[in-house]
Chain A
Amino acid sequence: MEAGTVIGSSVERKEAWDKVTGVAKYTDDFIVPGILHAKLLTSPYAHAVIKSIDAAQAIKSPGVKAIITGSDFPILCGVVLEDHPPVATDKVRYFGEPVAIVVANSEREAMHAVKLIKVAYEPLPVVGSVGDAVKSHAPLIHENLAAYKHAVKGIYPEPNTNIADRISIRKGNMPEGWALSEVVAEAVFKLPKSDHIAMETRNARAEIHADGEVLISTSSQSPYSVKKMLSQYFSIDEGKVNVKTPLVGGGFGGKSPVQLELLAYMASKSVGGRLVKIANSREEDIVTSPCKLGLEARIKLGASRSGLLKAAEMTFLVDTGAYADIGPRLAKSIAIDCTGPYNIDNVWCDSLCVYTNHPYSTSFRSFGHVSYTFCIERAIDKLAKMLGMDPLEFRLRNALGPGQTTPTQVKTTLSNLGNLTACLKKLKHDIKWYEGAVIEAGNGKIRAKGISCLWKTSDSPTDSVSGIFLTFNTDGSINLNSGVVEIGPGMKTTLAQILAEKMKMDLSRIHIKLEVDTQVSPEHWKTVASMTTFMAGRATLRAAEDLMKQLRSLAALVMRCPPEDLDIAEEKVFLKQDPTIYVAFKDLVHGYKYPNGNAVEGQILGRGSFIMSHITQLDKETGKGKPGPAWTVGAQAVEVEFDKTELTYRILKACTVLDAGKVINPKTARGLITGGMSMGLGMGSREAFQYDSEGRVLNTSLRTYKVMHIGEEPEYIVDFVETPQIDAPYGARGISEHGIIGMPAALANALSAASGAELDELPITPEYIWKIKGGQA
């Protein structure tokens, strides 16, 4: 790769060869002699009091070293609200919740002993939906809600209810908005919980050294949170907790929370600090570890006869399941972008984080956006239909643009928003909208297209940080050390590209440390929220500036000229007026040595640090505030072939046009967005937890929980608009999550157009279409 052309090139990711040859190592690939194995006994009830636990027989079982129950570690954890015992104590609140941990010499012995533990339960009434949970006199899932410690500011649990938090948006004047609304669409939407289904199931190891040092290895997107939370919950000096994360086999938000690390630590603690591992089976990964939120929403949208949106009123009930985890922030994330990328002056929104007896929710690709976008984009299509307007034209007419405001009243600019109009126009061309949204295809089949817009900002903590260390090898090449976890999108290759571009040097001369070790890698908040390029990229640019300043300063000494006369490229510091006069990096970076042997300066070390700026908490009453640094907008379409008799369908095409700001690596970007689209289509067409009447999840294995498979994928069209985000590295916006956001909505809009039925729930199976069209069970 030529220096200076690396941004915008489809470079191979640095770990590619290790991955395709199978050499790449993930957390559970390390086989350690003498390691102990932890296995969980989990709850067969969704809501029950634990009357007694009898482990007498299990502890005598061969190979068993320890059995841990909730009372051994009576702590409450939670990243927002501390409501969650790592192992259930007095009662269980979801099917699959850990009730005991068995530690044994082998996985087999642990699995055997788990079955010997006898637990007596007294079943409690199950809260099976958010709708039921918010009814007055609903059974309480957390009786002591008011007593829980708040881990962060700005959270408002409602005591003696199942409401963990409520976020309100009040913008404009609602009576005025409704007065201007000549046409009003209103509908109710329901989306089930589902799972991340990362290829690598979640797993962790823990060991406690004699000097008190705690070593954790984990498949995590948040190794620094693991460190901080272990330190806090178990009163260990933060410097004594070291967390290592090698490559991670897919995260999608599911590896952002801290769960198995706590259990692994407790297991190790119970056996004198010996090394213990805990690894989820697929079944445990689906129900015991946290999943994707469920959502019920009521949306009312008003527009003038001329097709301008005037008012929006919406209530979102986020199904956070048994514990809050990041749920309150998911409810907030939905609220801040609740209107979709449309200009609406009058907005009323209440977004509630609600407990149920379902497996608990955590972050999932797009942090709530794919869920509420389904609701708002279905409502937009309904309104367009009532107005008799083309749904794409209707969206164009209302697309949010510079100088307007978001639901939390942030003033939009081209830089902080991007260009949705350009995305829609490109989409119109790419999906051949001119063919018509619904076409008779013969043989009883219909071809139909549906569209959706999308937008997303980060909703990260206001003080999120990222840091970069750079060191030189003696040959002048650079080592890049960052706390970013490599979860699949080639993030560290992106950072290397940014560094190579800035230093005007060859990408192959930049070496990245793929593993994160919290003791030696500077913190990167969490590898989430599509914020890595922005945050770690900015830190990388600062670190490069730091290196260049030092290089120029030393070279100025050597070359006897002012530093401002010097420039840097191709691993040389050279005189601007005569580039043939230069000093090579290799002669500078480990100190400069004069001909007589004298040496000066020593190693050149670079550091770069970044912290979010100008982000605020939201006002409690109005929701006013700045949630993230900028948005990414886009438009998506899905084309289906629908069978009018059988009510089955095939997905023919899926298209995304995203305003990426600047595409740093086109092939990686396409891969990322295509992956998101595939996930979104899976969510739209098949993925859902199914429960029995007692709240037990029935489809806990991949035999019955279905994701999209190779061979079912449609043709993917991915296209970009590039409106730079001025404060982002080379103008590049976050794009990692966005492919998923509008897919379920676009699919539903296509199938609603094809079937003539209003499809307002997910997933859209042929049975669901049959039911909406009047099919009787």
Chain B
Amino acid sequence: MIPFNFDYYRPDTLEEATRAYRELDSRSLEPVYYSGGSEIISMARVHNIYTKAVIDLKAIPECNVLEFREDRLFIGSSVTLSRISEENPYPLLSKACSRIADHTMQCRITIGGNLGGTIIYREASLPLLLSDCEVIVTSSGSLSRVPLAEVFRERLLLPRGEFIVQFVIRKEYAAVPYVHVKKTRNEKIDYPLVSVAALKKDGRIRLALSGVCPFPFRSADIEDRLNDMNDSWGIRIDKALEYLPAPILNDISGSNGYRKFVLKNTLLNTLRTLEAMH
């Protein structure tokens, strides 16, 4: 039960969506864009989200594309996690999406929602951060294409009223060697203690993490240490951990000490597996 009334808008075009936002915002209705809606439902029923108007992006054709065009893969922000994992255009992303929540929820959660939501893990971002992803965003009446890293640092940083329409990834990333590992407390379907996505491109390891800090991240410093061929794996990992961007999470899923233990083991397995791939 959502314990408040709100207006529902379902624009058919990008232009209608942004116009609706401006208008509702000017009337102080605190509008929110959404697509799957799982977070709104689950947060609103416990009084953690409040809005007087929602704008449903599901009907906008551009938000629903999932296709290769020339050397690029285009993924609409309203595409569900289950559709990505089933159609499997980018195996590392499919793997990450298939480990977020359970299958019922994967049929509802969208990739845009996973990045834009309030739950801190945003695991669908990891493969995107590794693949120099660009995003097409609505920007004051027109569309612009910018690197994901510019609008997503720890979380989505778009100006009010803007939203991601599509993610654009170079096709070559669909074929690089990769590893994805998600470690949880003791249950397959749970928030991550550590979620690691890694790939090898041009002889270099790229790696992004979720669950370790209160946000997902990819770190150049950490990658430099992991790619330092002069050191053993163990030393590389120890050095890399000195560059974590925030203290390790300490919560009911796992203590920081245990998370560090899991992180080290997982990194070691990930890197060894990746090394053996060509």
Q: A698-B252, A777-B258 are in contact. Are A766 and B189 (CB under 8 A)?
A: no
Q: A108-B4, A775-B258 are in contact. Are A765 and B252 (CB under 8 A)?
A: no
Q: Is B1 within 8 A of A111, CB to CB?
A: yes
Q: Is B188 within 8 A of A712, CB to CB?
A: yes
Which chain B residues border A776 with CB–CB below 8 Å? 257
Interface contacts (Cβ under 8 Å), in number, total: 62
Q: Is A765 within 8 A of B4, CB to CB?
A: no
Partner of A112 from the list B4, B190, B254, B258 (CB cut-off 8 Å) is B4
Looking across the interface, which residue of chain B has its beta carbon closest to that of A701? B46
| Residue among A685, A706, A767 facing the most chain B CB atoms (10 A cut-off) | A767
| Residue among B2, B46, B186, B190 facing the most chain A CB atoms (10 A cut-off) | B186
Looking across the interface, which residue of chain B has its beta carbon closest to that of A37? B1
Q: A281-B45, A775-B261 are in contact. Are A709 and B3 (CB under 8 A)?
A: no
Partner of B255 from the list A283, A701, A777 (CB cut-off 8 Å) is A777
Binary B-proximity of A96-118 (CB < 8 A = 1, otherwise 0)? 00000000000110011001000
Q: Is A706 within 8 A of B252, CB to CB?
A: no
Q: Is A577 part of the contact surface with B, judged by Cβ < 8 Å? A: no
Complex Cα distance, B160 from A668, in Å, reads 58
Binary A-proximity of B246-278 (CB < 8 A = 1, otherwise 0)? 000000111111100110010000000000000
Q: Is A704 within 8 A of B186, CB to CB?
A: no
Segment 699-746 of A: residues with Cβ below 8 Å from B: 699, 701, 703-704, 706, 709, 711-712
Q: Is B71 part of the contact surface with A, judged by Cβ < 8 Å? A: no
Q: A107-B1, A283-B46, A646-B265 are in contact. Are A775 and B257 (CB under 8 A)?
A: yes
Q: A699-B252, A709-B189, A712-B187 are in contact. Are A111 and B265 (CB under 8 A)?
A: no
Q: Is A763 part of the contact surface with B, judged by Cβ < 8 Å? A: yes
Which chain A residues border B190 with CB–CB below 8 Å? 706
Closest CB in chain B relative to A64 CB, distance in Å: 13
Q: Is B170 part of the contact surface with A, judged by Cβ < 8 Å? A: no
Q: Is B188 within 8 A of A112, CB to CB?
A: no
Which chain B residues border A648 with CB–CB below 8 Å? 186
Q: Is B47 part of the contact surface with A, judged by Cβ < 8 Å? A: yes
Complex Cα distance, B191 from A686, in Å, reads 14
Q: A108-B3, A115-B47 are in contact. Are A686 and B258 (CB under 8 A)?
A: no
Q: Is B186 within 8 A of A765, CB to CB?
A: yes
Which chain B residues border A771 with CB–CB below 8 Å? 258
Looking across the interface, which residue of chain B has its beta carbon closest to that of A708? B187
Complex Cα distance, B190 from A711, in Å, reads 14
Which chain A residues border B256 with CB–CB below 8 Å? 777
Q: A115-B47, A775-B261, A777-B257 are in contact. Are A685 and B186 (CB under 8 A)?
A: yes
Q: Is A111 within 8 A of B3, CB to CB?
A: yes
Which chain B residues border A685 with CB–CB below 8 Å? 186
Overall SS of chain A's interface: loop
Interface size on B, residues (CB 8 A): 27
Binary B-proximity of A105-148 (CB < 8 A = 1, otherwise 0)? 00110011001000000000000000000000000000000000
Q: Is A709 within 8 A of B188, CB to CB?
A: yes
Which chain B residues border A281 with CB–CB below 8 Å? 45
Closest CB in chain B relative to A585 CB, distance in Å: 50
Q: Is A421 part of the contact surface with B, judged by Cβ < 8 Å? A: no
Which chain B residues border A460 with CB–CB below 8 Å? none
Q: Is A770 part of the contact surface with B, judged by Cβ < 8 Å? A: yes
Q: Is B255 within 8 A of A767, CB to CB?
A: yes
Q: Is B185 part of the contact surface with A, judged by Cβ < 8 Å? A: yes
Which chain A residues border B255 with CB–CB below 8 Å? 767, 777
Looking across the interface, which residue of chain B has its beta carbon closest to that of A110? B3
Q: Is B185 within 8 A of A765, CB to CB?
A: yes
Complex Cα distance, B261 from A366, in Å, reads 37
Segment 739-777 of A: residues with Cβ below 8 Å from B: 763, 765-767, 770-771, 775-777
Partner of A770 from the list B4, B187, B252, B258 (CB cut-off 8 Å) is B258
Q: Is A645 within 8 A of B1, CB to CB?
A: no
Segment 140-171 of A: residues with Cβ below 8 Å from B: none
Q: A115-B47, A646-B262, A775-B258 are in contact. Are A690 and B252 (CB under 8 A)?
A: yes
Closest CB in chain B relative to A768 CB, distance in Å: 9
Binary A-proximity of B185-204 (CB < 8 A = 1, otherwise 0)? 11111110000000000000
Looking across the interface, which residue of chain B has its beta carbon closest to that of A113? B3
Complex Cα distance, B260 from A775, in Å, reads 10
Segment 634-667 of A: residues with Cβ below 8 Å from B: 645-646, 648
Closest CB in chain B relative to A213 CB, distance in Å: 30
Which chain B residues border A765 with CB–CB below 8 Å? 185-186
Complex Cα distance, B252 from A686, in Å, reads 12
Which chain A residues border B189 with CB–CB below 8 Å? 709
Complex Cα distance, B258 from A775, in Å, reads 7
| Residue among A111, A112, A281, A699 facing the most chain B CB atoms (10 A cut-off) | A111
Which chain B residues border A775 with CB–CB below 8 Å? 257-258, 261
Closest CB in chain A relative to B190 CB, distance in Å: 6
Q: Is B4 within 8 A of A706, CB to CB?
A: no
Closest CB in chain B relative to A649 CB, distance in Å: 9
Which chain A residues border B191 with CB–CB below 8 Å? 703-704
Closest CB in chain B relative to A57 CB, distance in Å: 16
Closest CB in chain B relative to A95 CB, distance in Å: 15
Q: Is B45 within 8 A of A706, CB to CB?
A: no
Which chain B residues border A711 with CB–CB below 8 Å? 188
Q: Is A686 within 8 A of B45, CB to CB?
A: no
Which chain B residues border A767 with CB–CB below 8 Å? 185, 254-255, 258
Complex Cα distance, B45 from A281, in Å, reads 9
Which chain A residues border B42 with CB–CB below 8 Å? 703
Closest CB in chain A relative to B234 CB, distance in Å: 13
Closest CB in chain A relative to B178 CB, distance in Å: 21
Which chain B residues border A698 with CB–CB below 8 Å? 252
Q: Is A108 within 8 A of B1, CB to CB?
A: yes
Q: Is A709 within 8 A of B46, CB to CB?
A: no
Q: Is A709 within 8 A of B1, CB to CB?
A: no
Binary A-proximity of B90-105 (CB < 8 A = 1, otherwise 0)? 0000000000001000
Which chain A residues border B258 with CB–CB below 8 Å? 767, 770-771, 775, 777
Segment 1-44 of B: residues with Cβ below 8 Å from A: 1-5, 42
Complex Cα distance, B252 from A112, in Å, reads 30
Looking across the interface, which residue of chain B has its beta carbon closest to that of A777? B257
Closest CB in chain A relative to B123 CB, distance in Å: 15
Which chain A residues border B252 with CB–CB below 8 Å? 690, 698-699, 704
Known interface pairs A712-B188, A763-B186, A765-B185; 5 further A-B residue pairs with C-beta atoms within 8 A, sorted by A's residue number: A111-B3, A648-B186, A698-B252, A703-B42, A775-B257
- Can you list 20 A-B contacts (CB < 8 A)? A111-B3, A112-B3, A115-B47, A645-B265, A646-B262, A646-B265, A690-B252, A698-B252, A706-B185, A709-B102, A709-B187, A711-B188, A763-B186, A765-B185, A765-B186, A766-B185, A771-B258, A777-B255, A777-B256, A777-B258
B-side interface residues toward A, CB under 8 Å?
1-5, 42, 45-47, 102, 185-191, 252-258, 261-262, 265
A-side interface residues toward B, CB under 8 Å?
107-108, 111-112, 115, 281, 283, 645-646, 648, 685-686, 690, 698-699, 701, 703-704, 706, 709, 711-712, 763, 765-767, 770-771, 775-777
Q: Which 4 A-B pairs give the minimum distances between C-beta atoms?
A: A111-B3, A777-B257, A706-B187, A767-B258
